Amino acid sequence: MATRGHRYRITLQHLSAPREGDTLHESLTFEDGNHDDLFRIVDLQRGSGRFANADEAAAFALGLKLLGEAVLRNRDDALLQTLKAPLVEFIRGLKASLAAPPAQ
């Protein structure tokens, strides 16, 4: 049976801490779904020229998409729903900026 969206396994590794001797956390791995192809979204942000480097673009894209999907799935959570309208407006502006030709 086909799924309605994309399924991902996400892994977070703690590589360093701000102070020597601080404990590094064990890796965190979880699965989540999204209606969008996250690899395509990351590629779009990496190509946008908006961020200092590819990692920053990827972090932005993944963070935004994970947040947006959580807000969509949790329609009964009043606090999360306060984010819905501003998030929709922000994403519309972001998409428009990606579709616009670069400024000369």
Assess if residue 29 is contained within a domain: yes
- In this predicted structure, what is the pLDDT of residue 103? 60
Q: How many domains does the chain have?
A: 1
pTM of the full structure: 0.86
Q: Residue 79 maps to which CATH number?
A: 3.10.20.850
Assess if residue 87 is contained within a domain: yes
28-86 tens-digit pLDDT: 999 999 999 999 999 999 999 999 999 999 999 999 999 999 999 999 999 999 999 99
Assess if residue 1 is contained within a domain: no
Q: Are 38 and 61 in contact (CB under 8 A)?
A: yes
Task: List, as one string, the DSSP characters of 56-97.
Answer: HHHHHHHHHHHHHHHHHH-TT-HHHHTTHHHHHHHHHHHHHH
- In this predicted structure, what is the pLDDT of residue 99? 85
SS3 10: strand
Structural domain boundaries, residue 38: 6-99
- In this predicted structure, what is the pLDDT of residue 100? 77
Assess if residue 50 is contained within a domain: yes
